[in-house]
Amino acid sequence: MIRSENDFAQHVDYIHFNPVKHGYIEHAVDWAYSSIHRHIAAGMITRGWGWNCETKPDEYGER
């Protein structure tokens, strides 16, 4: 359940970062079918989103 705009943004980040987390790609923009491309086109995030992240193992993990 989405509880707030911030919660929604965290869910979107999780979805964008999930293929990176599981080792399928190196950068979120490398996933051709990701909604990240729409977010970039709309100016909501930059193409380099997540490239310099030093994520903790559970930062984008399931709870």
Encoded amino acid at 31, one letter? W
Of 14, 24, 33, 60, which residue is the catalytic one? 33
Candidates 45, 14, 19, 46; CA nearest to 30 is 19
Q: Any catalytic annotation for residue 33?
A: yes
State the Cα–Cα distance between residues 46 and 22, nearest whole angstrom. 22
How many residues does this entry show for the chain? 63
- Catalytic residue list: 33
